[in-house]
Amino acid sequence: MSLAPAVPSADAQLPATRRDIAPLLLVPALMLTMLPLVGSWSTWVTLTVAGLAMGMMIFIMASGLTLVFGLMNVINFGHGAFIAVGAFSATLVLLPLRSWLEMDSLPVNLAVLALAIVVAMLVTALLGWAFERLLIQPVYGQHLKQILVTMGGMIVAEQLIHVLWGAGTIAVPLPTALRGAFLLGDAAIDKYRLVAVAVGLVVFVAMYLILNRTKVGLLVRAGVEHGEMVEALGYRIRRLFVLVFAAGAGLAGLGGVMWGLYKETLTASMGGEIMVMLFIVIIIGGLGSVGGCFIGALLIALVANYTGFLAPGIALVSGIVLMISVLLWRPAGMYATGRG
Please answer whether residues 20 and 165 qualify as being in contact, where contact means their C-beta atoms are separated by less than 8 angstroms: no
Quick one: pLDDT band at residue 224, thresholds 50, 70, 90? low
Q: For the chain, first and last CA: distance in Å?
A: 31
**138 has pLDDT over 70:** yes
Q: What is the pLDDT of residues 181-197, one digit of tens each?
A: 888 878 888 999 999 99
Strand partners, 4: none
Q: What is the pLDDT of residues 235-284, one digit of tens each?
A: 777 778 888 899 999 999 999 999 999 999 999 999 999 999 999 999 99
Please answer whether residues 113 and 175 qualify as being in contact, where contact means their C-beta atoms are separated by less than 8 angstroms: yes
Residue 129 confidence (pLDDT): 94
- What span, in angstroms and rounded, lies between the C-alpha atoms of 248 and 232? 26
Residue 215: count of CB within 10 angstroms of its CB:
9
Please answer whether residues 82 and 271 qualify as being in contact, where contact means their C-beta atoms are separated by less than 8 angstroms: yes
With H, G, I as helix, E, B as strand and everything else as coil, classify residue 270: helix
- What span, in angstroms and rounded, lies between the C-alpha atoms of 21 and 281? 19
Residue 331: count of CB within 10 angstroms of its CB:
8
Quick one: pLDDT band at residue 337, thresholds 50, 70, 90? low
| Contact residues for 173 (Cβ-Cβ < 8 A; gap 6+) | 94, 98, 101, 102, 264
Element (H, E) at 181: strand 181-184
Cα–Cα distances in Å, from 307 out to 24, 91, 242?
21, 33, 40
Q: What is the pLDDT of residues 151-169, one digit of tens each?
A: 999 999 999 999 999 888 9
Cα–Cα distances in Å, from 283 out to 12, 15, 286, 305, 319?
23, 20, 5, 20, 11
- What span, in angstroms and rounded, lies between the C-alpha atoms of 109 and 178? 8
Cα–Cα distances in Å, from 131 out to 128, 257, 271?
5, 20, 16
Quick one: pLDDT band at residue 231, thresholds 50, 70, 90? confident
